Amino acid sequence: MTEDYRPNTYSLSYWEQDTFFRGIDTIVLGSGIVGLNAAIRLKELRPKHRVVVLERGPLPIGASTRNAGVACFGSLSELMDDAAHRPVEEVLSLAEERYRGLLRLRDRLGDEVMDYRPYGGYELFLPSEAERYAACIDIMDSYNREFSSLTGRPDTYKVTDEAIKNFGFAGIEHLIFNQAEGQIHTGKMMQALLAKARSLDVQIYNGVEVTHWEEEEKTVSLFTAQGWKLQCRSMLVATNGFAARLLPELQVRPARNQVMITQPVPGLRFKACFHYDRGYYYFRQIDGRILLGGGRILDVEGETTDSFGTTPLIRDSLIDLLHHLILPGQRVEIDGWWSGIMGVGDQKHPIVKRYSDRIAVAVRLGGMGVAIGSLVGERGAELLTDT
Ligand SMILES: Cc1cc2nc3c(=O)[nH]c(=O)nc-3n(C[C@H](O)[C@H](O)[C@H](O)COP(=O)(O)OP(=O)(O)OC[C@H]3O[C@@H](n4cnc5c(N)ncnc54)[C@H](O)[C@@H]3O)c2cc1C
C-alpha cells in the first residue's frame, strides 16, 4: 500500500479494506430508483453475492428523491408528440413498459408504504391549443383500444371538460382525464427501496464518488474522489443524468428540472395530477399543498446542465402559472424551491446494455423514471448474471 498525500484524499486502512470493501462481486454506481432496484434484483438472483452500492451524495441526490411523484405512463399530447418523431409502435411499447414498471414498483413495495393514490391525471388545454387538442381527440379511441387490455379499462383517456369549473382553473378550455394514472410520495418510496435493499444485505456507501475505472480480465478497479481503489468482479453504471461524466460516448444529456412547493392552500379543490403543454409543466397536490414544476422548454440550453439550482426565468414562469392559471385570484405563499437532474437523449428509450465484459449501463430515464425505473434497474442487473 502507498500512502496518498493529495489534498482531501486519504488511503483506506487495512481494516476498512478487509471489511467494507473485501470480496465485492458487483458494485452499482448510483443509489437512485435504478441503482437500488438493480441491487435488489442482483441479491434476489444470487443471495450470497456481495453487492455494494456507491452513491456520491449524502442522499441519493439526482432525480429519484427530487421528482414530482407522478405515476404516469403518458398524457395523450405527450404520446402524440413522441409519435411525430418515432414510430408509433415504439411510442406505444414504451408507454406499456412504463405502465408495467409501475405495476412492478407497486408489487415490490406495496401501495401503502409509498402512499400510492389512484387519483388519475388530467391534461389541460388552453384555447390557443385547439389544434393540439383536436389531434388528441383524433387519436384517443385508437389509444384507448391499445391500452384497454393493459389498464383493464375501455376508456383509459376521456374528455372531462365539466370538471374545469370544479377545479377553479382559469383560461382552460378542455381537460382530458387519464383514469389509470396515480401518484406516490417520492421520499417514502425511496426510503422503502433503501430499506428493502439493506434488508437483503446490500451495502450502501454514501459520499463515494467514482471518478474512473480500469477493467482487467477478471476484475474492475474503481477509483474514487477520495483516492481509493476498490475492486469488484462486475459493475453497473446507474448514474443517469451524470452518466456523461463517466461515459461521454453514451447518448445521455443532463436535463435540470425546477420545482416549487406552496404552503398549504386552504380549500384546495383537487387531489389529482395535472399535465400541461405536452408534459413540460406538471402539478399535483401533496398534503394540501401544490407541487408545481417544469418549464425547461423556456431555456433548453441553460437547463442542459448537471448542476443543481433554480433560475429567475423558470421561477417566474412557474409563479405566473400558479397565480394566473391554477389558483386565479387566490393568495398563496411559496414554501420552497428545488431542482433535480434527469438524463435525456434524442430518443426516449432508456439505455440498458452491456458496455463491456464486466460492465453494464442502465441510464437515460428521462421524465419517467418513477414509472419505468424498477424494470430498467432489474434488466441492468440481469445483464450481469454471467459475470
Ligand atoms: C424535478 C423532476 C420531476 C420528475 N417527475 C417525475 C414524475 O413525476 N414521474 C416520473 O416517472 N419521473 C419523474 N422524473 C424523472 C425521474 O425522477 C427519473 O427518471 C428517475 O428518478 C431516474 O432514476 P435514476 O436512478 O436513473 O437516476 P438518479 O435518481 O438521478 O440516480 C443517479 C444517482 O447516481 C449518483 N451518482 C452520479 N454520479 C455518480 C458517481 N460518479 N459516483 C457515485 N454516484 C454517482 C447520483 O448522486 C444519483 O443519486 C422527474 C425528474 C425530476 C428531476
Kindly state whether residues 21 and 143 are assigned to the same domain: no
What is the Å distance from ligand 1's center to 30 Cα?
A: 9
Kindly state whether residues 311 and 192 are assigned to the same domain: no
Q: Which of 291, 297, 365, 379 to mutate to test the pocket of ligand 1 (most atoms within 8 A of CB)?
A: 365
Label the pairing between strands 253-262 and 289-294: antiparallel
What is the Å distance from ligand 1's center to 59 Cα?
A: 12
DSSP category for residue 241:
G
Residue 150 placed within a domain? yes
What pLDDT does 1 receive?
43
Kindly state whether residues 356 and 245 are assigned to the same domain: yes
CA atoms within 13 A on the CB side of 176: 28
What is the Å distance from ligand 1's center to 50 Cα?
A: 24
Instruction: Single out the residue of 385, 378, 382 nearest to residue 104, CA to CA.
Output: 378
Kindly state whether residues 337 and 366 are assigned to the same domain: no
Label the pairing between strands 229-237 and 220-224: antiparallel
Ligand 1 atom nearest residue 61's Cα: 49
Verify whether ligand 1 is closer than 6 Å to residue 196 (CB atom).
no
Verify whether ligand 1 is closer than 6 Å to residue 293 (CB atom).
yes
What is the Å distance from ligand 1's center to 316 Cα?
A: 25
Geometric angle at alpha carbon 154, from 152 and 159, rounded to 5°? 125
Contact between 115 and 188 under an 8 Å Cβ cutoff? The reply is: yes
3-state secondary structure (DSSP) of residue 184: coil
3-state secondary structure (DSSP) of residue 264: coil
Cα–Cα dist 115/227, whole Å: 41
Q: Which of 240, 284, 303 to mutate to test the pocket of ligand 1 (most atoms within 8 A of CB)?
A: 240
Cα–Cα dist 154/382, whole Å: 34
What pLDDT does 385 receive?
82
Kindly state whether residues 85 and 178 are assigned to the same domain: yes
pTM, two decimal places? 0.95
**Domain termination residue (choose one: 165, 183, 201):** 183
Contact between 251 and 351 under an 8 Å Cβ cutoff? The reply is: yes
Kindly state whether residues 241 and 352 are assigned to the same domain: yes
Kindly state whether residues 137 and 228 are assigned to the same domain: no
The CB density around residue 299, as the number of other CB atoms within 10 Å, is 14
Instruction: Single out the residue of 278, 367, 271, 250 nearest to residue 79, CA to CA.
Output: 278
What is the Å distance from ligand 1's center to 343 Cα?
A: 8
Verify whether ligand 1 is closer than 6 Å to residue 365 (CB atom).
yes
Kindly state whether residues 303 and 360 are assigned to the same domain: no
Residue 133 placed within a domain? yes
3-state secondary structure (DSSP) of residue 312: helix
Residues in the chain with pLDDT values less than 70: 1-8
Kindly state whether residues 324 and 298 are assigned to the same domain: yes
What pLDDT does 8 receive?
65
Kindly state whether residues 201 and 53 are assigned to the same domain: yes
Verify whether ligand 1 is closer than 6 Å to residue 273 (CB atom).
no
Verify whether ligand 1 is closer than 6 Å to residue 239 (CB atom).
yes
Kindly state whether residues 269 and 316 are assigned to the same domain: yes
Kindly state whether residues 221 and 78 are assigned to the same domain: no
CATH at 204: 3.50.50.60
Ligand 1 atom nearest residue 65's Cα: 29
Residue 7 placed within a domain? no
What pLDDT does 386 receive?
79
What pLDDT does 2 receive?
47
Which tens digit of pLDDT belongs to each residue from 332-373?
999 999 999 999 998 889 999 999 999 999 999 999 999 999
Q: Which residues span the domain enclosing 116?
A: 72-183
Residue 4 placed within a domain? no
Q: Where are the beta strands (DSSP E) in the chain?
A: 24-29, 51-55, 70-71, 121-125, 157-159, 174-178, 182-183, 203-206, 210-215, 220-224, 229-237, 253-262, 273-276, 281-286, 289-294, 334-344, 351-354, 359-363
Ligand 1 atom nearest residue 257's Cα: 1
Cα–Cα dist 251/349, whole Å: 11
Q: Report the number of distinct structural domains present in the chain.
A: 3
What pLDDT does 141 receive?
95
Which tens digit of pLDDT belongs to each residue from 238-286?
999 999 999 999 999 999 999 999 999 999 989 999 999 888 999 999 9
Distance of CA 357 to the CA centre of its chain: 28
